[in-house]
């Protein structure tokens, strides 16, 4: 009697908490990404808790939860971890309750500073105990100047803590890609000559806050950017799944540096609960499912396309990453850049 081959495990097996980025993973612009809502609700139905992590400091957790619920997701404010919340984790470790904080940012940041028990000012003349800076589209030169005045060092080089919610250089908006909080933080940095502590991705405080809040023992992070999502998860010691529905696609994955390589690579979130074939290396070939890729004399060779485009991309990534060679030293077929 022939024994049926056991199916490969899925990325979701053994996971107790899914931590999902938002833009590029759950939604793109005003619309939910196809299959994302069903996949996340399906994971929750299997007993996996789903949390959401965002670097966006302009919206409170309640506003984010309402936005996600509008797509049909079952989500409460406490299921959302924001970079201002992670910033408060850093601030509480350095200041007593009731300390005065100069805030550069909007409602999302103000809400968390007040929740944490700190007093708020907008002017350096009040002699604040710290500065917290987060993105808000109406942040003005005057507010950046007040932050700079407050952060000025004394004759001994001493100053007050400066915490940035995140340092994303860009932010996607309806009109295209616009300057993000990192750009505004850089303006203050140029004026004062110091760097802030950073709470959001790719730094670890936001991941630590999420793990603590959800009591996660086997978390999996879902992201669409290598330089913030995957890098941050790796720094925090959390496995990551990169989904090809957002910013970084095949080209960026093929050339990913070691600390920005995800544990799982998904075409969309349906594949969270689908079998995930193992990567097998035989002689000079890397095999995923029925896709086969080899490297010979500096040329990346597609030896079998396979049944699924994602398997071909996975095999190509594994072959290139395992070669130890930078992408610019290899001749890569153009079709691999569009494998997704």
CA distance 130 to 37: 39
Instruction: Select which of 21, 129, 229, 311 is catalytic.
Output: 21
For the question of residue 79 being annotated catalytic, the response is no
Per DSSP, the residues of 7-50 read PPPPTTTT-SEEEE-SBTTTEETTEEPTTHHHHHHHHHHTT-EE
To 10 degrees, what angle do helices 205-214 and 83-92 make? 90
Question: Contact at 8 Å (CB) between 162 and 194?
Answer: yes
Question: Contact at 8 Å (CB) between 164 and 185?
Answer: yes
CA distance 329 to 128: 52
Instruction: Select which of 13, 16, 23, 248 is catalytic.
Output: 23
CA distance 183 to 166: 10
CA distance 339 to 261: 17
Structure tokens at 161: 């803590």
CA distances from 271 to 74, 131, 134, 267 (A): 20, 43, 34, 7
Helix, strand, coil share of the chain (percent; to 5) = 35, 20, 40
For the question of residue 23 being annotated catalytic, the response is yes
Residues carrying an active site annotation: 21, 23
């Amino acid at each position: 009697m022939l024994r049926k081959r056991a199916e490969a495990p899925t990325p979701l097996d053994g996971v107790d908490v899914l931590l999902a980025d938002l833009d590029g993973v759950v939604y793109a612009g005003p619309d939910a990404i196809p299959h994302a809502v069903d996949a996340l609700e399906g994971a929750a139905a299997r007993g996996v808790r789903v949390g959401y992590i965002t670097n966006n400091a302009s919206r409170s957790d309640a506003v984010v939860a309402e936005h996600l619920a509008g797509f049909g997701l079952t989500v409460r404010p406490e299921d959302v971890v924001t970079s201002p919340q992670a910033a408060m984790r850093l601030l509480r470790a350095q200041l007593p309750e009731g300390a005065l904080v100069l805030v550069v940012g909007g409602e999302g940041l103000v809400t968390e500073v007040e929740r944490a028990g700190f007093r708020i000012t907008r002017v350096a003349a009040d002699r604040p105990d710290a500065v917290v800076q987060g993105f808000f589209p109406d942040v003005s030169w005057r507010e950046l100047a007040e932050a700079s005045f407050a952060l000025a060092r004394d004759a001994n080089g001493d100053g007050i803590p400066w915490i940035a919610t995140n340092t994303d250089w860009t932010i996607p908006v309806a009109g295209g890609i616009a300057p993000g909080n990192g750009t505004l933080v850089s303006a203050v940095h140029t004026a004062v000559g110091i760097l802030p502590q950073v709470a959001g991705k790719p730094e670890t405080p936001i991941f630590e806050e999420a793990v603590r809040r959800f009591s996660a023992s086997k978390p999996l992070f879902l992201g669409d950017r290598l330089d913030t999502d995957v890098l941050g998860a790796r720094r925090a010691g959390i496995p990551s799944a990169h989904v090809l529905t957002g910013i970084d696609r095949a080209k960026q994955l093929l050339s990913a540096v070691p600390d920005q390589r995800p544990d799982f690579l998904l075409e969309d979130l349906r594949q969270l609960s689908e079998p995930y074939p193992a990567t097998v290396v035989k002689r000079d070939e890397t095999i995923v499912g029925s896709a086969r890729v080899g490297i010979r004399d500096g040329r990346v060779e597609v030896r079998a396309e396979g049944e699924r485009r994602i398997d071909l991309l996975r095999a190509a990534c594994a072959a290139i990453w395992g070669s130890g060679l930078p992408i610019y030293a290899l001749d890569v077929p153009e079709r691999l850049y569009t494998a997704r």
